[in-house]
Structure 1
Amino acid sequence: MPIDPQNTLLTVQAGLAQLSTLIVSYSLSAIGAVILLVVGYIVAGLAERSISGGLKHIHGFDATLRHFFSKIVRYAILILVVIMVLGQFGVQTASIIAAVGAIGLAIGLALQGTLQNIAAGIMLLALRPFRIGEYVEVGAISGTVEEVGLFATRLRTVDGVYVLAPNSTLWNQPVRNFTRNGVRRGDITLTIGSWNDIDFAQKTMLSVAAAERRVRREPAPIAFVSTIGDTGVAVSLRYWTSAADFFATQIDLTKRIKQAFDAEGLSVPAPPPDAQRPEPSRTRQ
């Protein structure tokens, strides 16, 4: 059958006209979608900061919950913006919601472990065994809490290592919170020769502790013999200090007690058995 050039030209012209109309229509929709995405992203960020700043001014409001609620507002706005963008292209929002529900159900069935993390995250946020800024130890995981999310918790170890722990792992094990009570007990043990004056060594420890302002007066520090060996006696100092000063206080006290023992002639460690024993250290009156 011969092709009519005139009909072919008319068909091509009609197709090009429809194509140009579609390009113009969808170009405007695409530009509007981009603008909507940019504006929605900015609004979501502003809303997150506003919620966080507003809750920060509420006395006693927990920092962990403040961070959680501000994130929820941010993600809710972003989801709403995505639905509006799809609506720009003629997609029915009711269909979107139904599709999201079906996809969520399928993902929930496929990722049951993830749902466990979400449930654990909700329990962690509700019961708050730890908060942002607290130092905790959970099994083999330890560090300062930086963020508690729905899926995982971010921590920073004492040597600056980034740790992201699943919430289900943190929820299913005992939590040791070293910051929550505000105070911690420290023990420092040094060994002296068995011929040294034990009472004098204990008094030396207590005098060093009394001179340290970070050591609490209540409960009062105590010094005692922890172990006895053949040639040495382990003398310990037990004291209380604030959780924030724990490590610095322990480091400084250990150094000062060792220096005090050296100055008073208390042998650390004991000399070999065949060495001549020195005269007993003098006892302070």
Structure 2
Amino acid sequence: MNDWWSDPVHARWLEFGTSLGLRLLGALVLLWIGMKLAGMLADWLGRGLQRTHMEKTATLFLARVAQVALQVVVLLAVVQVLGVPMTSMLAVLGAAGLAIGLALKDSLSNIASGVMLVALRPFKVGDVVTINGVSGKVEEINIFQTRLRGTDNQTFTLPNSLVTTDSIVNMTPDEMRRIELIIGIGYGDDIDLARATVMEILHADSRVLAEPVPNVLVYELAESSVNIGVRCHVANADFFATKCELTEQIKKAFDRVGISIPFPQRDTHVYTHATQPSRAVEESAI
């Protein structure tokens, strides 16, 4: 046994294995601690940015970018601990970066689009938007994707490049939102009575804001009805419930005061023509 340990070849292998094992152990410890620190520092940065009253969308995005950058630094440090020469590593990374950049051009486009979304701010976290035919509340803007929460609690995940190249309808750019209802009444009904009835409902609802002033206007003399427009403003959080309840209250109030709400209908007239007897039948009768 002593001869085995004293053999120069075995001793070198033992020294190499011990050194490699220590490097691997050190690299694993560094990787674990570094990733933990990267997450902690990113959270600390996010809380610090929030204290400066920076917009939540930019705060979350910058914190995520900082975390990814710190993780890359940790990975480079781990590679150095393993004994890989940094000059060779940088050369390999440069060549690999070019190939990866060409292969992942769509992902890089998503990153650039994410930066544009944060810089231009067409919407922010918490806004209700419609993008590419999808409507929902913005929950998060990541480096690669934007996540929306739909009205039925479904999750929509859209690539950032799709968001910036498509039309964006932001339905909550301010703290309030306008409700617009178009309701048809009969041509024989009293327009002033209909307006007074609706205004009474609007003034009685505490969710309807006094400014801008709510109003009721005649929109159109349609084919079978006089279309009146009901317009008022409410807080963003009250929009959907208020719109539905106002529609119901107006219908019930119109029923009480005798105002009709026409609906499309068609009258069908059927004419029955008596068949004329043939000439042969007439001659036989004679």
TM-score interval for Structure 1 and Structure 2 normalised by the shorter chain: 0.7 to 0.9
Aligned runs of 1:90-109 on 2, under 5 Å?
90-109=83-102
The one-letter code of the counterpart of 1:36 is L
Aligned runs of 1:76-155 on 2, under 5 Å?
76-155=69-148
Contact 1:194-1:230 within 8 A present in 2 as well? no
The one-letter code of the counterpart of 1:154 is R
Residue 155 of structure 2 corresponds to: 162
RMSD: 2.6
Alignment CA distance shift 1:273-1:145 (3 Å): closer
2-side partners of 1:92 and 1:34: how far apart? 18
Residue 19 of structure 2 corresponds to: 25
- Deviation, 1:70, is 1.2
Partner SS state of residue 164, structure 1: strand
Residue 61 of structure 2 corresponds to: 68
Using the TM superposition, name which of 14-23 and 69-78 deviates more.
Answer: 14-23
Alignment CA distance shift 1:230-1:100 (3 Å): closer
1:198-222 CA-partner distances (Å, limit 9, x unpaired): 2211110111011112212222222
- Deviation, 1:232, is 4.1
2-side partners of 1:237 and 1:128: how far apart? 32
Residue 35 of structure 1 corresponds to: 29
Partner SS state of residue 259, structure 2: coil
Residue 280 of structure 2 corresponds to: none
Alignment CA distance shift 1:174-1:231 (3 Å): closer
Alignment CA distance shift 1:219-1:122 (3 Å): same
- Deviation, 1:272, is 8.0
Contact 1:184-1:241 within 8 A present in 2 as well? yes
Partner SS state of residue 24, structure 1: helix
1:90-129 CA-partner distances (Å, limit 9, x unpaired): 1012322222222111111223222322222222221111
Residue 182 of structure 1 corresponds to: 175
Alignment CA distance shift 1:272-1:77 (3 Å): closer
Same amino acid, percent of matched pairs: 37
2-side partners of 1:111 and 1:204: how far apart? 61
| Count of aligned residue pairs for this structure pair | 265
Aligned runs of 1:212-227 on 2, under 5 Å?
212-227=205-220
- TM-score, with structure 1 as normaliser: 0.82
1:240 aligns with 2:236: no
1-side partners of 2:224 and 2:103: how far apart? 65
Partner SS state of residue 213, structure 1: coil
- Deviation, 1:51, is 0.5
Residue 56 of structure 1 corresponds to: 50
2-side partners of 1:112 and 1:229: how far apart? 53
Residue 250 of structure 2 corresponds to: 257
- TM-score, with structure 2 as normaliser: 0.82
- Deviation, 1:247, is 1.3
Partner SS state of residue 147, structure 2: strand
Using the TM superposition, name which of 15-24 and 46-55 deviates more.
Answer: 15-24
User: Structure 1: which 4+ aligned runs deviate by more than 6 Å?
Assistant: 270-274
1-side partners of 2:107 and 2:35: how far apart? 26
- Deviation, 1:16, is 4.5
Residue 4 of structure 1 corresponds to: none
- Deviation, 1:64, is 1.3
Contact 2:254-2:260 within 8 A present in 1 as well? yes
The one-letter code of the counterpart of 1:194 is Y
Q: Which runs of 5+ in 2 are unaligned?
A: 268-286
The structure with more radius of gyration: 2
